[in-house]
């Protein structure tokens, strides 16, 4: 008997969210099928890749990174180089140096630095903050103002600071915001409800559902993403139809497999290769589970993951 495909059709779709302006924009989401299920319905926008740089400079302890960013000493130079990386769809600027425990650079100085970096590139920009709740709220407010008109995505608004992030970034300057929860499906939905109750359009919101490096409880990440996508599509839940953005690099470049030296673990082989493999494995798993964008660091990972996406779509 011949095989007769029956497409799985949904009367619902993931919201489209565009970051950036002008000729270079990145649109996330828009599909009405499960991840990579192009045989069910056309995938409107392929998943996107962000290249992460830090305001405290590139990690030159990794030869591949040092080589790629050779000659770049300032954030604008790093930004320019990262924006030229093959496979890069957007730039993700991590503001590590503004964290109170990591230099505590002032809001004003950090804003000026980011503004300068943004002026050096035309690629869409995601601002990742310093991951300190109070400082991020202040930083996002000033940076949203400084980058008015650039249509930037801020990661992230959390349970503790969503009010100020929503009001400052999304409402005052029409920027995009990501709602962050740490692999907590009910909180993910609740944050989206709270943000929309403030008056932020759901189309301006992305979700950072959290992640884990492959092997570090990733099953829980996968089931969370699955449940979110099925609520969004099969149950037409408009409080979960936001595209998913997943910072992968920050998870994978801190685990043992990526950082212990070859001298200490000779049987594990070169550290950088391991780190790249962790980044690729985790990013691929996130994409298969439903991420509409992943944020990576290493040029080799970006090359491999963009090839994977191109060949699957």
Partner 1 sequence: MGKFIVIGERIHCISPVINKAMQERDPEPILKRAREQIETGAAYLDVNIGPSEKGGEELMKWAVTTIQQACDNVPLCLDTSNRKAIEAGISVYNRSKGKPIVNSADAGDRIENIDLAAANDAIVLALCSKAGISSDNDERMGYCQELLERGMGLGMDTEDIWFDPLFLVVKGMQDKQMEVLSFIKDLSDMGLNSTGGLSNISNMMPKHIRPIMDSAMVAMAMYCGLTSAIANPADLRLMETIRSCDVIKNNTLYADSYLEI
Q: Which residues here bind partner 1, judged by CB under 8 A?
A: 185-187, 189-190, 192-194, 197, 227-228, 231, 234-237, 239-240
Nearer to partner 1, 44 or 184 (CB): 184
Nearer to partner 1, 289 or 305 (CB): 289
Nearer to partner 1, 51 or 228 (CB): 228
DSSP of 46-88, one letter per residue? --EEEEEEETT---TTSHHHHHHTTT--SHHHHHHHHHTSTT-
Q: How far is the CB of 15 from partner 1 (least distance, A)?
A: 16
Question: Phi and psi at residue 266, in whole multiples of 5°?
Answer: -60, -35
Q: How far is the CB of 198 from partner 1 (least distance, A)?
A: 12
Q: How far is the CB of 207 from partner 1 (least distance, A)?
A: 13
Nearer to partner 1, 179 or 245 (CB): 179
Q: How far apart are CA 217 and CA 211, in angstroms?
A: 9
Distances in Å between the alpha carbon of 107 and those of 19, 110, 148, 166, 219? 23, 5, 16, 18, 38
Q: How far is the CB of 30 from partner 1 (least distance, A)?
A: 18
Tokens of 199: 């008056």
Q: How far is the CB of 88 from partner 1 (least distance, A)?
A: 34
Nearer to partner 1, 77 or 237 (CB): 237
DSSP of 83-130, one letter per residue? HTSTT--EEEEE-GGGSTTTT---HHHHHHHHHHHHHT--S-EEEEE-
Nearer to partner 1, 192 or 277 (CB): 192
- Inter-residue contact 283 to 304 (CB < 8 Å): no
Nearer to partner 1, 3 or 11 (CB): 11
- Inter-residue contact 111 to 146 (CB < 8 Å): yes
Closest to 129 in 3D by CA, of 148, 157, 109: 157
Q: How far is the CB of 12 from partner 1 (least distance, A)?
A: 10
Q: How far is the CB of 257 from partner 1 (least distance, A)?
A: 33
């Amino acid at each position: 008997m011949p095989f007769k495909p029956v497409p799985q059709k949904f009367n619902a779709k993931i919201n489209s969210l565009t970051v950036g302006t002008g000729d270079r924009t990145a649109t996330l989401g828009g599909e009405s099928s499960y991840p990579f299920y192009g045989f069910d319905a056309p995938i409107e926008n392929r998943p996107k890749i962000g290249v992460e740089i830090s305001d405290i400079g590139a990690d030159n302890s990794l030869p591949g990174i040092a080589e790629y960013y050779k000659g770049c000493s300032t954030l604008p130079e790093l930004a320019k180089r990262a924006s030229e990386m093959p496979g890069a769809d957007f730039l993700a600027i991590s503001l590590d140096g503004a964290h109170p425990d990591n230099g505590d650079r002032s809001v004003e100085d950090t804003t000026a630095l980011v503004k300068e970096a943004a002026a050096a590139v035309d690629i869409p920009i995601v601002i990742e903050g310093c991951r300190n709740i109070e400082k991020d709220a202040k930083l996002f407010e000033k940076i949203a103002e400084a980058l008015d008109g650039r249509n930037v995505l801020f990661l992230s608004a959390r349970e503790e600071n969503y009010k100020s992030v929503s009001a400052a970034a999304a409402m005052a300057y029409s920027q995009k915001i990501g709602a962050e929860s740490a692999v907590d499906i009910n909180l993910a939905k609740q944050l989206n409800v709270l943000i929309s109750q403030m008056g932020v359009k759901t189309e301006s919101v992305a979700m950072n559902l959290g992640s884990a490096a492959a092997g570090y409880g990733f099953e829980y990440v996968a089931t969370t993403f699955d449940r979110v996508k099925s609520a969004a599509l099969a149950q037409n839940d408009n409080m979960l139809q936001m595209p998913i953005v997943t910072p992968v690099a920050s998870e994978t470049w801190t685990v043992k497999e990526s950082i212990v030296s070859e001298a200490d673990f000779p049987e594990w082989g070169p550290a950088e290769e391991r780190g790249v493999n962790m980044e690729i494995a985790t990013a691929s798993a996130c994409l298969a589970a439903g991420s509409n964008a992943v944020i990576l660091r290493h040029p080799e990972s970006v090359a491999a993951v963009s090839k994977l996406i191109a060949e699957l779509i």
